[in-house]
Amino acid sequence: MSYPNPAAQEEVTSGGNLPRLERTGGHVRLIVDGKPFLCVGGELHNSSASDRNYMSPVWEKLAAAGINSVIAPVTWEQVESVEGRLDFSVVDGLVQDARSAGVRLVMIWFGAFKNAHSTYAPSWVRADRVRFPRADKGTQPLKTPFSYPGSMPRPSLSVFSRNLFEADRAAYTALMRHVAMIDPDHTVIMVQVENEVGMLGAGRDRSALAETIWNAPVPEALFTAVSEAPDSFDPELVRVFSANAGLHRSWADLFGDDHPLGEETFMAWGFASFVGGLAAAGKDILPLPAYTNAWLGPQRGQELPGQYPSGGPTARMIPVWQAAAPAIDFLAPDIYVPNSAEIMRQYASDRNPLFIPEARFRAGDAFLAIGGFGGLGYNVFGIEEGREGNQFSTASRIIKALTPEIVDAQRDGRIIGFALEDDIESVSSELAGITITVRNARKLLEGMLLDAGVRVPPAPELPGETVAATHGPTPGDGRPLGMVLAINSTEFVVVGQGAQVDFHKPGADVELDSIRELVLGDAGLSEGRYINGDERLEILSAEHISVVKVRLLATNN
């Protein structure tokens, strides 16, 4: 099954120097206005952008928040409430106000699918069940997250509906054409196509449309992708496909009923074809980088496809999506789980640069994504709820100020990011021939003072990251966190909070030659005090995120 682009699609020009992804070997960087750009900002709540008056004070707050980008939804139901009658006034306001606030926009298209449902499809789509069939969850649907006995149903349209795809594509391409005309300065730098797609309540759609495709031959393109890169795919999928190569068998023949991996792969091919078809059609008009995001699975309490969105771009479905949707530049995980480093590792690869479109306010995870996994950006959800001067704002300002150095260091392997969990005493890495060890500074101090008979009082609670948050307050990130960037073998920039950083080199005695404080101001980072004496015991503050430039002196031992 595939969703090809229209045969003839007129490209709309929108000025030169479009935002783009630039690849050097395995490194990918985002280029905006001809310069490297790291997206450090956040996503608005789903309904915030729907009303310009509501957003007016929000833009004022975001302009002072230290961020450089905002991820904002544009909904199909709002721009085409009547079929064929398009109203892009909400888009005009978003672009104008973001430009005035001095931030860039990543635009989300809430089209046919949002969080595995179709709640943002217009009424005229949802009302016509003949033209736009619903997905069928079977006779015994699975229990799904965020539901309860007696709750009202949420619509789930069938991703296999050609009518749905064509209607969604018409609206989405009209949006891209409009953006191209009103945004010659490229305030909009990327597009997210749909949101957390997949099917909840069943492993696969059992509607008449879906059953026809389930009983049709598996696409040859998927067989080819598995045979060319078997190490990328789930081993069980490789085994099944290898045993049936060249036989043109159907999904039903290969997997039978109730095969979780087979059902998830089937739905992944359907959703990837749909979303990838939209992305390709949009790029024919305005070739901005395009991605889609993932509701993670499996996870605790959501072990089976259908308990999490079956067919979404989960980690084990990444190669299926890449085969079906080449117009999607990368697949991006939304991270609300505690094991964030593991998730980043699953999604960061030469073929899939890491980008976090939704996450909690955790400054350590921002440093981890960008410094540790070469990420293109880290964005918190509900950015409008951020407290003025919070940790994330400080981290964002520092990342912005160091962007040219960070991006080159990502390319050259001269950077690490860290966020030490409670059960981790230290981490070590090698940069520029120097072994760098990061430790929990408080635990070190407690140990040293305890040896002298002194007990350290409990650490004060960090201020919260948010104010008046919809889902309750978010505490500050108390982990030792930050990143280390090697300028060369003797000079390093160290960023972070609550960490002790030591440098070693085999066969040499390495000592701190000088430490220079870097002060964050309106113009970026500037040199401040020389730090010596007692301050060297804690070159990174325990109370706030700080930045220093370290010069080493190495002598043969």
Q: Is the pLDDT confidence value at 469 over 90? A: no
Place of tokens 């040293």: 448
Of 334, 367, 385, the domain-final residue = 334
Which segment of 186-195, 225-234, 480-489, 523-532 scores lowest on mean pLDDT? 523-532
- 379 assigned to some structural domain: no
Q: Give tens-digit pLDDT for 355-383.
A: 999 999 999 999 999 999 999 999 999 99
Same domain, 456 and 307: no
pLDDT value of position 145: 86
Bridge partners for 72 per DSSP: 107
Name the residue range of residue 94's domain: 44-135+156-199+260-334
The residue among 468 and 91 whose pLDDT is bigger is: 91
Same domain, 431 and 327: no
Same domain, 321 and 425: no
Same domain, 430 and 549: yes
- 539 assigned to some structural domain: yes
Best CA proximity match to 54, nearest among 44, 64, 68: 44
Same domain, 87 and 182: yes
For residue 367, the number of C-alpha atoms closer than 13 Å in the C-beta half-sphere is 31
Residue 117 DSSP one-character state: B
Same domain, 176 and 299: yes
Q: Where are the alpha helices (DSSP H) in 44-88?
A: 52-63, 76-79
The pLDDT of 254-281, averaged and rounded, is 97
Residues above pLDDT 90, as percent of the chain:
83
- 384 assigned to some structural domain: no
* Whether 263 contacts 255, CB under 8 Å: yes
Q: With bands split at pLDDT 50, 70 and 90, how would you rate the model's confidence at 556? A: confident
What is the token pair recorded at 67?
């961020």
Spatial CB neighbours of 188, under 8 Å, sequence gap ≥ 6: 95, 104, 105, 106, 107, 179, 288
What is the rounded distance in angstroms from the CA atom of residue 288 to the CA atom of residue 192? 10
Angle between helices 162-182 and 89-101 (to 10 degrees): 40
Q: With bands split at pLDDT 50, 70 and 90, how would you rate the model's confidence at 453? A: low
Sheet strands (E) in 282-371 = 290-294, 330-333
Q: Give tens-digit pLDDT for 426-436.
A: 999 999 999 99
Q: With bands split at pLDDT 50, 70 and 90, how would you rate the model's confidence at 450? A: low
- SS3 label, residue 105: strand
pLDDT value of position 257: 87
Same domain, 166 and 275: yes
Same domain, 321 and 448: no
- 208 assigned to some structural domain: no
- 18 assigned to some structural domain: no
Q: Is the pLDDT confidence value at 447 over 80? A: no
Provide the residue type at 197 as one letter.
V
- 36 assigned to some structural domain: no
CATH number at residue 451: 2.60.220
Of 334, 350, 383, the domain-final residue = 334
- Pair type for strands 546-556 and 491-497: antiparallel
pLDDT value of position 31: 98
What is the rounded distance in angstroms from the CA atom of residue 278 to the CA atom of residue 170? 9
**Could you give the number of structural domains in the chain?**
2
Largest distance between two CA atoms of the chain: 81
Same domain, 67 and 191: yes
Same domain, 326 and 459: no
CATH number at residue 278: 3.20.20.80
Q: How far apart are the first and last CA of the chain?
A: 67
- 475 assigned to some structural domain: yes
Of 318, 334, 350, the domain-final residue = 334
Q: Is the pLDDT confidence value at 542 over 90? A: no
Residue 537, judged by CB atoms within 10 A of its CB (0-12, 13-18, 19+), counts as: exposed
Q: Is the pLDDT confidence value at 445 over 90? A: no
Q: Is the pLDDT confidence value at 70 over 60? A: yes
- 143 assigned to some structural domain: no
The pLDDT of 47-52, averaged and rounded, is 97
Place of tokens 């993670």: 296
The pLDDT of 180-196, averaged and rounded, is 98
Same domain, 265 and 123: yes
Provide the residue type at 434 as one letter.
I
Cα-based angle 32, 354, 394 (whole degrees, multiple of 5): 70
- Pair type for strands 35-37 and 27-32: antiparallel
Cα-based angle 118, 124, 127 (whole degrees, multiple of 5): 70
Q: Is the pLDDT confidence value at 12 over 50? A: no
Same domain, 51 and 180: yes
Report the mean per-residue pLDDT for the chain: 93
Q: Is the pLDDT confidence value at 2 over 70? A: no
What is the rounded distance in angstroms from the CA atom of residue 184 to the CA atom of residue 287? 13
pLDDT value of position 532: 80
